[in-house]
Amino acid sequence: MNPVRNHKPMEKMITKEVESTALRKQWLMKKLFVSNGIKKFAFLIAVIFIFTSGSIVLADLNPPSPSAVNITLINPLGSANSDIGSVLQNIMQWLIMAGSPIAAFMVIVGGIQILVSGGEPAKFEKGKKTILYTAVGYGIILVGSGIISIVQKILSG
């Protein structure tokens, strides 16, 4: 027998074992954290927990007695004795007030779509349709308000 042994096969085996261990660790990490999405989700949950636990800790331990607090709730749809016509009229007034700035914004968006179309007919048509649909939608709100007023006058005499 040869007293000096060749250690090369042993070194290769150890290197392969170290590489396979590293690969197993990588595989395990991929299984535990499938993507960065899970890490982001876990971070979001941790942030929410931190902020909500602070609000729980800072809660008032001595709330005022119910008799000392006077809370008045105002009916946003009108008085307590409102009929259905006045409730609908209040809703339509709110829709007109809320719809006006939305309609103005959408007309501006449609105009920008037309300006940036760069001569492409499809983008130009998209801008025109945006403006048209905005006008039709706001027109429906205005016509609905008019119909409610007409029905109220007919029913009231």
Interval 53-70: pLDDT, tens = 655 555 556 666 666 667
Based on the domain organization, do 60 and 97 belong to the same domain?
A: no
Q: Which pLDDT value is given to residue 4?
A: 54
pTM of the model: 0.48
Between 48-62, 70-84, 85-99, 115-129, the lowest mean confidence (pLDDT) is in 48-62
Based on the domain organization, do 90 and 27 belong to the same domain?
A: no
Q: With contact defined as beta carbons under 8 Å apart, do 130 and 113 qualify? A: yes
pLDDT band at 134 (very low <50, low <70, confident <90, very high): very high
Which of 95, 76, 79, 85 shows the shortest CA–CA distance to 149? Answer: 85
Based on the domain organization, do 149 and 114 belong to the same domain?
A: yes
**Mean pLDDT value of segment 43-61:** 63
Q: With contact defined as beta carbons under 8 Å apart, do 38 and 29 qualify? A: no
Based on the domain organization, do 89 and 149 belong to the same domain?
A: yes
Range of the domain at 131: 84-156
Structure tokens at 144: 């609905």
Instruction: Measure the CA–CA gap between 153 and 143, rounded to whole angstroms.
Output: 15
Is residue 121 assigned to a domain?
yes
Based on the domain organization, do 65 and 110 belong to the same domain?
A: no
Number of domains in the chain: 2
Structure tokens at 9: 């096969």
